[in-house]
Chain A
């Protein structure tokens, strides 16, 4: 019965999402006309409608850049200078856990726009689902709103949750390039660790070694890649990803501690065509 209830909620929320997708409103933030945001969904409580946006109008497995606005139901105005925090939670059959996420910050130019990222490290299924609770306070009054978030299965691996040789559970996520090119691409990846079920802080000072390969063509690699490192504590990792042709690439990874210890991932050799931790892209 409980399962059925959850399934129903999921189906309803999915159909709601489908509707909202179709009627998805575009929103071009003032500070950056080049960036068009599409509404993912609206999350409502008694007082506000929270509009959740992303570049694609969807949420997906892996890293998600999200933005939101809070519309006052009575004034129809967007709330400025709210203090916002969020908590994504995976409702599994036997337990609940969260995922890596950033703080929610107010946009520097448009103070009615709040942004951050969430990294969904596992997809939903028939019985397990993600929801997102948004806690915010405006002028000393606290509010909250919760809604189910759609995180479908992805055909390409963009995030990996792995247990390192140091018994730490790591989450690595592919962030950029979102539209890869035959070029040296600026690579951004994120590395977090599972501190407990609800806290996933950024891992500092590691190196994510990359080895892009084309399994469809002799598993050849590409030259002049730069392993991803952190430009500063708490930041995402950046590197260079060379792609010599279009097609399907597997980016083999190794998670390396500051002292050089590889906690997860293997070298790609003739005998070992892929690392146990990798991302996939196709273009």
Chain B
């Protein structure tokens, strides 16, 4: 702790930045992509909870839900689809978690201080950086840009009462005409949280430290080289919904980028990046009571990759090409220690050193038809290869698949077309898409992975076909002086839908499990959602925001799919005047009737929680000090929702304090 405070003080010399981006994304305006602003550099007074986790920021989107296994490292669902079906990237980099039990989605290895925004794309609109079914989230790094010489710094601190979470952060940015450098640090430390009615949830503590740096150097008038590094380390992370905790989740995420912004009319931007990231993850059951058999379950994931991203304009076309590839190796082990110490330890590979090699090309053309309408067409193809490197692991899997080869190649493709129109106050668009994906490492090669919600051991299936999705999407929005509203809807028809099916008469390995499931494919499943986002300006300084989301997911036999949200709503009134802001909000779900009991879900009652927050911005000489105080779950409701793993209850009343100083 002392050394963190020291580091914190060391950082306390610095400042915040502003200025022109070297690049400008002209196409953004016509996209239905959603952008959520994150980050500690330029926190707006509007932000209700500036030092919230990335997960809390992301779940504001109507497209995103979060599966919660505790207070930390939530698993994002995009269009109700889990991480196997979606694409999560950090500045276009592919990163893969190292935990077989999904305790470390890659969003858990970054901090709000590392980021400036998250771009959320639905369905095949997210296929630029790889194959996806449900969509993509690209987390954009926070960085300065070249400009007038400036040195700024920011300090952040926060507290949450529900789990005594202490948040400390600091950042420095420096820039001049030819150089920029940002560094930041963030620390979070939390005890067990308390659910409503003051019920403590044991094993929900966590502690996390994050350091990042990014530096850009101008070489020539229109070229730059940028290096970025993120180091993230979480220790003593409790997962109350699971039988094990995590003693270490550590990531090193590095990249080197070369960018050219040509001055001619044809080439607009050319960005090439090489990257490397490595993750180590250790599960830990040593603090749990009544452990029948102690086990170590470490996992490792390493990824090398690159992309080269070229933007060109020609007449009324905006072309984009992205050549990208990566190599990943995912390994996970399980070592069990018998009660009788004279017996040999029990060892198995749960991910048998699975290598994934991907090489793909994405092409996109935005065609501006006229002032009010445009068309976007995208196409991608990729070669995907999995190889089981460990002979030990291959032999293990051959228990289930005697003829299994160590290598499996696939071709992945994606195709999408969208139309965008604009007329008076109206915006509208529709699109169709087709895409497929390869099974994840767990789905293809997992060996006795215990799913504690279903209470089954899972076996991967290397013979799975590509899962593919045919989708349609439509949106219509309008904007007047007082009202902004957007209604959007997506429909996915997913063939070869990968799920687990019970292998009859096969006994589980995990003590107490009901049986063994192997991944298999349903003929198809369909997912539909429709959402409404609306903002009503009551008076100039008072806005009323509402978000309504309806989702539906069925398999081909009309059975319910797991993790499909019941009708969900949130509504807030935000007041902002001069340096003062206030917000009161409610959020809730309707009763969860369409729960998937086959996958361990229970019927969940409706819930409604209320939150309130106040903010004030002080300007003291050069310093900009934003203070926030808020209360979440004011009425201390005790509840759990469809996305709470094993029905763990959510936090109860939570007083949130934060202060951000920008100098």
Binding site for B on A (CB under 8 A): 181-184, 214, 216-218, 220-224, 242, 244-248, 282-283
Contacts and interface: CB of A to CB of B under 8 A. Distances in A.
B-side binding surface: helix, strand, loop or mixed? loop
Nearest to B393: A182
Nearest to B506: A223
Interface in B472-491: none
Interface stretch (B174-182, B226-234, B337-345, B358-366): B337-345
Nearest to A220: B509
Interface string B344-361: 111110000000000000
Given A223-B507, A246-B344, 9 more contacts: A181-B395, A216-B339, A217-B338, A218-B292, A222-B507, A244-B447, A245-B336, A246-B345, A246-B346
B503 interface: yes
B348 A223 contact: no
A247 B292 contact: no
B289 interface: no
B293 interface: yes
Given A184-B398, A282-B343, A216 B508 contact: no
B400 A223 contact: yes
B399 interface: yes
B507 A184 contact: no
A244 B344 contact: no
Contacts of A216: 293, 336, 338-340, 343, 346
Given A218-B511, A220-B509, A183 B395 contact: yes
Contact of A218 (B293, B340, B447): B293
A221 B507 CA distance: 6
B395 A214 contact: no
Given A181-B395, A246-B346, A223 B516 contact: yes
Contacts of A246: 344-348
Contacts of A218: 292-293, 510-512
B396 interface: yes
B508 A220 contact: yes
Nearest to B346: A247
B338 A223 contact: no
B509 A217 contact: yes
Nearest to B339: A216
Contacts of B293: 216-218
Contacts of B334: 245
B187 to A, nearest CB: 39
27 contacts: A183-B396, A183-B399, A184-B402, A217-B338, A217-B509, A218-B292, A218-B512, A220-B507, A222-B507, A223-B506, A223-B507, A223-B516, A224-B400, A224-B402, A244-B396, A245-B334, A245-B336, A245-B348, A246-B345, A246-B346, A246-B347, A247-B336, A247-B338, A247-B344, A247-B345, A248-B344, A283-B344
A225 to B, nearest CB: 9
Contacts of A223: 399-400, 503, 506-507, 516
Contacts, number: 82
Given A182-B348, A216-B293, A248 B508 contact: no
A214 B503 CA distance: 20
A184 B403 CA distance: 12
B392 interface: yes
Nearest to B402: A184
A222 B345 contact: no
B448 interface: yes
B362 to A, nearest CB: 40
A248 B512 CA distance: 20
Nearest to A211: B507
A272 B293 CA distance: 21
Contacts of A220: 507-511
Contact of B392 (A182, A214, A217, A248): A182
Nearest to B509: A220
A216 B341 CA distance: 10
Interface string B496-511: 0000000100111111
Contact of B336 (A184, A217, A222, A242): A217
B503 A244 contact: no
A244 B343 contact: no
B390 to A, nearest CB: 10
A54 to B, nearest CB: 24
Nearest to B334: A245
A189 B506 CA distance: 24
A29 to B, nearest CB: 28
B511 A217 contact: yes
Nearest to A184: B399
Interface string B640-662: 00000000000000000000000
A214 B346 CA distance: 9
Contacts of B336: 216-217, 245, 247
Nearest to B336: A217
Contacts of B343: 216, 247-248, 282
Contacts of B503: 223
A84 B512 CA distance: 56
Contacts of A217: 293, 336, 338, 346, 509, 511
Contacts of A244: 348, 396, 399, 447-448, 509
Interface string B317-343: 000000000000000001010111001
B403 to A, nearest CB: 11
A184 B345 CA distance: 19
A245 B334 CA distance: 9
B392 to A, nearest CB: 6
A245 B392 CA distance: 10
B519 to A, nearest CB: 15
A174 to B, nearest CB: 17
Counting chain B CB atoms within 10 Å of each CB, the highest count among A181, A221, A245, A248 belongs to: A245
A218 B292 CA distance: 8
Nearest to B516: A223
Nearest to B397: A183
B345 to A, nearest CB: 6
A183 B400 CA distance: 9
